[in-house]
Amino acid sequence: MKSCRSCNYWVTTGEELDRDDPDLIGKKVENGVCRRYAPRPFTVELDESGTEPKMISRWPQASSDDGCGEWEPNYG
């Protein structure tokens, strides 16, 4: 199955999530990040003084059962 869990670009963060879908209640999925592309700016936060905005870049979050059109098999 072509899901993030089996993709070369996905890296688990070691966290587990519960799904809200009634058919999946009680089944755990892993949380992780997609490293297909460089980290992307996703939000603006204020610095410690609360005056200057600061851009933050992170890898996109993805669950192990997510998937996309750029899946590559993980042979490792």
pLDDT single digits (tens) 6-61: 999 999 998 777 666 666 666 778 899 999 999 988 666 666 777 777 777 889 98
Q: Where are the domains of the chain?
A: 4-63
Structure tokens at 22: 């009634």
* pTM score: 0.68
The CA-based dihedral angle spanning residues 24, 27, 32, 36, taken in that order and rounded to the nearest 10 degrees = -50
